[in-house]
Copies of this chain bind each other. A is one copy, B any other.
Amino acid sequence: MTSLDKNHWFTEVSDRDGSAFSLRINKLLEQQQSPFQHVAMYETTDFGNLMVIDGCTMVSSRENFFYHEMIAHPALFSHPNPKNVVIIGGGDCGTLREVLKHDSVETVTQIDIDQVVTEMSLKYFPELCSANDDPRATLLFDDGIKYMRDAQAESIDVIIVDGTDPVGPGEGLFNHAFYQSCLAALRPGGVLVQQSESPLMHMPLLLEMRAAIKQVGFGALKTLPFPQPIYPSGLWSVTLARKGLGFDGFRACDPDALNTLYYTPGVHQGALAEPPFMTKAFNQQG
């Protein structure tokens, strides 16, 4: 046996990947079984606090900036003037904080099914929740799939799907019906962005997701890879899709004003430079 005993380490075994990732912990801070999932918070020795949902690492203090910046900024800067934004999931509120850095944004509605996630984040990741009281923000705790189904047609500029893996509560966020709702709710030129797993480890899933998004009628797709140290393989992605238009560049921001740790226009451009291992897989799909 290894020395990764449960009193000193949190371990996520990813059966589908044949890999496991462990962080050394000082202690379990809190855990709750919500109506939807098991949510735990650990204090780690080197990654700050760590949120774990149903046994999967979700967010740590040390490295969440990669994910939150990359799910928010490429989508928003790909839109000429995003005013109304919806976040499905995102209960830790880190994505919300990044979205609210955009002056053009007039409203952001976040719909996470599980209030426990946000309550835990307020307590253990206060820095991610620093924009929750922004008057432009509305936090709902409800079913995001239903919310999108009922959304007014052509009322949203950017939809950010910041959900868990396509198992458990996040499953319904990866199918045709959901993407159709999103397409209908977006204004022309609107952008959908979704976390799209590891391009190294989960290409079949990514291809399936891209196919479903295309089939409901979105225009061009872009899958942007970025580092995600606590998820399997350390390489993750977001996939952007646009209603009625392709992706013709993006607005370049002043990176200092944006106050990011990873995202810059140069990093955005770099993430658009699709590596051949991804291009080959996408082309095989056609």
- The distance from the CB of A254 to the nearest CB of chain B, in whole angstroms, is 12
Q: Flag if A273 contacts B277 (CB, 8 Å).
A: no
Q: Does A184 count as interface, using CB distance less than 8 angstroms?
A: no
Per-position contact with B for A1-19: 1 when CB-CB < 8 Å, else 0?
A: 1111110010101000111
Q: Flag if A261 contacts B277 (CB, 8 Å).
A: yes
Q: Does A227 count as interface, using CB distance less than 8 angstroms?
A: yes
Q: Flag if B3 contacts A17 (CB, 8 Å).
A: no
Q: Which residue from chain B places its CB closest to the CB of A228 in the assembled complex?
A: B234
Q: Does A253 count as interface, using CB distance less than 8 angstroms?
A: no
Which chain A residues numbered 237 to 286 have a C-beta less than 8 Å away from chain B?
Answer: 255, 260-264, 266-267, 269-277
* Residues of chain B within 8 A of A273, CB atoms compared: 264, 266-267, 269-270
Q: Does A193 count as interface, using CB distance less than 8 angstroms?
A: no
- The distance from the CB of A93 to the nearest CB of chain B, in whole angstroms, is 21
Q: Does A63 count as interface, using CB distance less than 8 angstroms?
A: yes
Complex: how many Å from CA A19 to CA B234? 13
Q: Flag if A6 contacts B1 (CB, 8 Å).
A: yes
- The distance from the CB of A271 to the nearest CB of chain B, in whole angstroms, is 7
Q: Does A22 count as interface, using CB distance less than 8 angstroms?
A: yes
Q: Which residue from chain B places its CB closest to the CB of A7 in the assembled complex?
A: B1
Q: Flag if B65 contacts A277 (CB, 8 Å).
A: yes
Q: Does A23 count as interface, using CB distance less than 8 angstroms?
A: yes
Q: List 13 A-B contacts (CB under 8 A).
A: A4-B11, A11-B20, A18-B24, A18-B45, A19-B21, A19-B46, A20-B21, A227-B233, A229-B234, A260-B276, A266-B272, A266-B273, A270-B270
Given contacts A200-B227, A229-B234, A263-B275, could you give 10 more A-B pairs where the C-beta distance is less than 8 Å?
A1-B6, A2-B2, A2-B11, A3-B13, A4-B11, A18-B45, A20-B20, A20-B21, A20-B24, A229-B235
